[in-house]
Amino acid sequence: MQQQSAIHAEEAKKIPFVGNKEPLSMLAAEYESGSPILLEKIKMLGQQYAAIRRTQGDGNCFFQSFMFSYLEHILGSQDRAEVDRIKGNVKECRKTLQSLGYADFSFEDFFGLFLEQLDIVLQGNEDSISLDELIIKSRDQSISNYVCKSSVEPMGEESDHVDIAALSDALGVPIRVVYLDRSFCDKGGVCVNHHDFVPTFGDHSNASSHSTEPIKPFITLLYRPGHYDILNPK
């Protein structure tokens, strides 16, 4: 098992922390000689999603995927109100950690870096960056691992349902996780299942929305057993 883990770790290093966009046909090619169920599900994904962006399978892939996808969304939308909102949540997280007895030095470096990333994806600032520059920064291990520390420690541990729900609640950001597995629908046949993690409070919670329409997350991650990647909608 140790040998297999070592081989897996070496293979993971060949993929950057955040990869380039790839068409879903590249994902389908991985399963050409495998399960027809997975191939059918990838075909169905192609109806809603244009591309996949892979992340390194180092145990931090969920956090890598989430944070890059969030920053890419802000870069594309230039939603300053959203940035102001999440900065307010970060402020509350600071207070919570202090009230729990954490020393400021244990989290201030992360918060400073995260806020800096938020500022530079907004255009019009002296140090604003482009998408290509964001990708380069996201491949920097020192920056990438600090960003991952926004959620749980230790590093290198796969995220589960509780971690995702906690992150969604803490930052107030809805997250959709699409599952690529061999499961069938409840009524039989092939379908792609997903789960939306919606904050239980705040501006992005169902409870605070005056609309009867469910909130649609702007971050979509693809989960294959043991790994998360980013899905880009059409």
Tell me the CATH number at 164.
1.20.1300.20
Per-residue pLDDT, 144: 64
Give the residue with greater pLDDT, 77 vs 112: 77
Helices 141-148 and 108-120, packing angle to 10 deg: 110
Residue 4 has pLDDT above 60, yes or no: no
pLDDT per position as a tens digit, 127-161: 999 999 999 998 887 666 655 654 445 444 556 78
Q: What whole-number distance in Å separates Cα of residue 213 and Cα of residue 35? A: 36
Asked whether residue 221 is domain-assigned, the answer is: yes
Q: How far apart are CA 209 and CA 31, in angstroms?
A: 41
What is the mean predicted confidence (pLDDT) over 180-196? 87
Residues identified as active-site: 58, 61, 194, 227
- Tell me: pLDDT of 209 over 50: no
Tell me whether residue 174 is in a domain.
yes
Q: Is 179 contained in some domain?
A: yes
Give me the domain span that covers residue 29.
Answer: 13-203+214-233
Per the structure, the count of domains in the chain is: 1
The reported pLDDT for the residue numbered 208 is 44
Helical packing angle, 161-171 and 80-99, nearest 10°: 110
72-101 exposure pattern, b = at least 16 Cβ within 10 A, e = fewer = bebbeeeeeebbebbeebbeebeeebeeee
pTM, rounded to two decimals: 0.82
**Two tokens, residue 129:** 């960056």
Per residue in 91-118, pLDDT (tens digit) is 998 888 889 888 887 677 777 888 889 9
Summary mean pLDDT of the chain: 83
Q: Could you tell me if residue 218 is inside a domain? A: yes
**CA–CA separation, 61 and 54 (whole Å):** 9
